[in-house]
Structure 1
Amino acid sequence: MTDSKYTNFDYELSQKILTMLKGGYPAKLKKVLIVTAPLWFKAPFRILRLFVREKLRERVHTVSAPQLSAHVPRASLPTLEHCRNCYTNNLQNNKLDGVIDEYVISNYIPPVKTQNGVIEHEVARDMTSDRVARLEQPDAMHISDPPYTCDTGPLRQGTFHHAKLPSNLSKNRYTDVLCYDHSRVLLSQTDPEDPTTDYINANYVDGYKQKNAFICTQGPLPKTFSDFWRMVWEQGCVALVMTTGGRAQPVLRFLHLVRRAQRTALADLGDAWAGHSRGPPIVVHCSAGIGRTGTFITLEVCTSRLAAEGVADVRGAVERVRAQRAHSIQMPDQYVFCHLALLEYAIGSYACEEKCLRFVSVYFRKHI
């Protein structure tokens, strides 16, 4: 915002940005930097930011140009030079008045020293207290939703038409976490005149050798509370999982308890259930239904396959889950957790058979 005037202020654009931040999924937003904000902007901004979700509000910063080096490493801005050239050409072609501040455009991020061709970052500059605590406890493996995302690659082919319908937008907890059309759970229409009453932000996800073994969904909102329980009833679900945080051993133990609860409930159903032999879908949710939820399902699929075949493919499992529930497995920590928990499962009391031990041996030879 260097040298910007009040006449440059686009109210509609600002509203769109504010709306995006208000409804955004915290784990998908690392940091928002407003650079060299003038006084006329800072005053109303301090009021408007109060309407943004607290987890997002603490990630929005107003900084001066020299302070950028504490937030953004040069290596993460490969297009900076291109942007500078475009800005320079724009000034020259349009003969605009003004002088380019070379310090602001080119030099506000100091060069990063390299060692053996590897860029060394100052870790403390880019840490949350959650990450620092976990570094101090190297044995603490967690399923969590920290504010970092690794989901930068392209998604499988899929559309979100129903999730984006005006009457359904308010049913999504986050504006940027939508459910695929091809795998979404359809509710019965409560209003024959309104076809959108069949919508809920939930997707079927396959398990190990079981189609639609899970239903991934967001945490219910006050507006969708009745829809959530209507889905449970209509799908005949007998097991619901609300994922929070946890280390590997407690999560594995909980996974074992979920399977046992599903089997017990299925036995109680008797002939009333005529579907898959493993029972109706298990409902799994967290906040958005993608981070911890995706981690839980990936771990369930991988441990089931490991116990049955003595092999596991974490990457393949994540790709299949993402093909049915967009953006599943949000952070690198969650992806690493799946590997570590799977190893702990293989050498632990849950699967101590010879084929699992062979898997551990092969895994270490391949990755360590």
Structure 2
Amino acid sequence: MVGDGSLSSESVIGLHTYNSAADLTSGHVMTLEKNEYLFDLNTKNACTRPLDIFIKLLSTSSVGKEFSHFSSLPLSRLRTVDAFFDHPELNKFGEIQVYEQTRVRAVHRQGHNYLNSSWIDGYRETRKFIVAPSPMSESVAQFWRCVFDRNSLIVVTLCELLDEKGKPFVPVKIGEPLVIDDMTIELDNIRKVRPATYSSVLKISEKGVESHKTVILLTYSGWGKLGYPQKPSDILDLLADMNHMRTILRKQGLEKKIFDDSQRTPMTLVCFDGFSRSCTLVALDILCQRLTASHEIGTPFVDILDTIARLRMLRGAACMKAEQFVFLSMSVLEYAIRHHLVNVEDLGKISLNGFIIRNNPESY
């Protein structure tokens, strides 16, 4: 496995100081101690906005007012980005910087370990996700080596499966493996699991390593080239599938002693730029799990802007567009209704006039 050098500790979050969204205006700082999580119920400065207040704000405010105010706040970025500037050929966007403290290391054929990708925490789980842009031709082998070395059990793609030269970065036919550098990726089977989601079983092997690793590739094609999915239920179903399949594969891996219980088994999320759709999916997973956990102990909590701000501590450009805030708002509301967290008598009081959803013109 590729080492992280001096930053190999799992408690990367606890080593640094951050601003929380709730305290951005006051400049108050938050330091996470060992065994604390960035996304939790009890962490210092954890959001305490009840679901009913969230719904009232949703009904009386507008996305423009809420998100524009948030976007204008100066987010603290106590980070170094040295490797990002050392390898411009591996960055799709020169202005979207990758923090050293949360960067995922993966060996490139030229000997360095820079890959434009970041570790992202989940709800009460350190390094649950790896977030990355769709790989370029120079980084396809490195991307799959990262999946292999990091025991990533699930890869989710939210974009076209092509590099900048129009070549697929995944195998497209059974019996025709993708071989690049020392990595071989084979398509074992594929099936349609939902109207816009395909599930593929991949076998990944590395030259010089005896055993292969099995990975589930979930390809979601309903996002489209513009806007966001018209049905939040599609993404909520995708989240449920991701987490369920990961649980099954992790159990199988432990039984076969492919890895031990102390090892991370992250999910790798891929979108074209590596910070918009993928981070939106991460944010929704955190929001839903936190909403359920807080409901179980008394009061359901939800704060979308706080969650986005914390995500930006790990991946600087996470959820930069108002449309992603809109989608998260609609998805959290649907999740709450689905799971009976909203009183029936309050359903008629919900107004979404301030949140205009535009059509999604095209899927791929």
Short-chain TM bin? 0.5 to 0.7
1:159 aligned partner:
80
Shift, 1:163, TM fit = 0.4
Q: Which residue of 1 aligns with 2:249?
A: 265
1:286 has 2:271 as partner: yes
Q: Of Structure 1 and Structure 2, which has the larger fraction of its residues in strand?
A: 2
Distance change >3 Å, CA 335–CA 233, structure 1 → 2: same
Tell me the residue number matched to 2:92: 173
Distance between the aligned counterparts of 2:118 and 2:239, measured in 1? 20
Q: Distance in 1 between matches of 2:316 and 2:244?
A: 28
Give TM-score scaled by structure 1 length. Answer: 0.52
What amino acid does structure 2 have at the position aligned with 1:164?
F
Structure 1 distance, partners of 2:344, 2:321, is 25
Q: Aligned pair in 2 of structure 1 residues 318, 359: CA closer, same or farther (>3 Å)?
A: farther
Residue type of the alignment partner of 2:74:
P
The AA in structure 1 aligned to 2:325 is Y
- 2:140 maps to 225
C-alpha distance after superposition, 1:204-225 (max 9, x if no partner): 0110000011111111001100
Identical-pair percentage: 21
Q: Residues 86-97 of structure 1: matches in 2 within 5 Å?
A: none
The answer (yes or no) to whether the contact 1:159–1:181 under 8 Å persists in 2 is yes
Select which of 326, 336, 350 maps to 1:336.
Answer: 326
For 2:315 and 2:343, locate their aligned partners in 1 and report how far apart those are by CA, in whole Å.
32
Highest RCO, 1 vs 2 (Cα 8 Å, sep ≥ 6): 2
Kindly provide the amino acid, as one letter, of the partner of residue 273 in structure 1: F
Unmatched tracts of structure 2, length 5 or more: 1-67, 160-222, 224-228, 296-300, 355-364
Q: Secondary structure at the match of 2:153?
A: coil
Structure 1 position 361, deviation (Å): 5.4
The Cα of 1:365 is off from its aligned counterpart by: 8.5
Return the offset for 1:296: 0.4
Map of 1:3-22 to 2, 5 A cutoff?
none
Match of residue 234 from structure 2? 250
Q: Deviations over 1:289-337 (max 9, x none)?
A: 1111111000000001111212222122111111000110021010121
* Contact 1:205/1:215 (8 A) holds in 2: yes
**Contact 1:239 1:282 (8 Å CA) reproduced:** yes
- Change in 2 beyond 3 A, CA 1:281/1:266: same
How far off its partner does 1:189 sit?
6.7
- Residues in 1 aligned to 2:237 and 2:318: alpha-carbon distance in whole angstroms: 22
Q: How does 1:18-29 map to 2 (within 5 A)?
A: none
Mapped to 1, the partners of 2:344 and 2:73 lie a distance apart of 29
Is contact 1:151-1:329 (8 Å) kept?
no
CA change 1:178–1:357 in 2 (3 A) is same
Report SS of the residue matched to 1:283: strand
Distance of 1:161 and 1:359 partners within structure 2: 53
Q: Which has the larger radius of gyration?
A: 1
Write the distance in 2 (CA, Å) between the matches of 1:164 and 1:358: 51
Instruction: Find the partner of 1:198 among 113, 123, 130.
Output: 113
**Larger relative helix fraction:** 1
CA separation in 1, counterparts of 2:331 and 2:289? 13
Displacement of 1:178 after TM fit?
Answer: 2.3
Q: Which residue number in structure 2 is paired with residue 298 of structure 1?
A: 283
Task: Report if aligned partners of 1:190, 1:198 keep a CA contact under 8 Å in 2.
Answer: no
Equivalent residue of 1:241, what SS?
A: strand
Distance 1:162 1:209 in 2: 29
Tell whether 2:342 aligns with 1:346.
no
Deviations 1:96-118 (A, max 9, x none): xxxxxxxxxxxxxxxxxxxxxxx
- The equivalent residue for 1:99 is none
Q: Give the direction of change, closer, same or farther, for the CA distance of 1:164–1:240 in structure 2 (3 Å limit).
A: same
Q: Residue by residue, what CA displacement relative to the aligned partner does 1:44-92 show, whole Å, maximum 9, x if unpaired? A: xxxxxxxxxxxxxxxxxxxxxxxxxxxxxxxxxxxxxxxxxxxxxxxxx
Which residue identity is paired with 2:82?
H
Q: Distance in 1 between matches of 2:344 and 2:249?
A: 32
Following TM superposition, where does structure 1 have runs of at least 4 consecutive aligned residues deviating by more than 6 angstroms? 364-368
Contact 1:219 1:287 in 2 (8 A): yes
SS at 1:163's partner residue? helix
Deviation at 1:276, TM superposition (A): 5.6
Equivalent-residue separation in structure 2 for 1:210 and 1:233 (angstroms)? 20
CA distance, structure 1, for counterparts of residue 345 and residue 103 of structure 2: 36
Distance across 2 between alignment mates of 1:326 and 1:232: 22
Unaligned runs of 5+ in 1: 1-147
Contact 2:107 2:142 in 1 (8 A): no
Shift of 1:157: 1.9
* Amino acid corresponding to residue 151 of structure 2 in structure 1: G
Tell me which residue corresponds to 1:65: none
- Root mean square deviation of aligned Cα: 2.8
Distance in 1 (CA, whole Å) between partners of 2:142 and 2:71 is 29
Matches within 5 A, 1:127-146: none
* Matched position secondary structure for 1:159: coil
Does the 8 A contact of 1:151 with 1:331 survive in 2?
Answer: no
Q: Say if 1:273 and 1:332 are closer, same or farther in 2 by CA, change over 3 A.
A: same
Q: Distance in 2 between matches of 1:333 and 1:360?
A: 29
Q: Which amino acid aligns with 1:154?
A: P
Counterpart of 1:312, as a letter, is: V
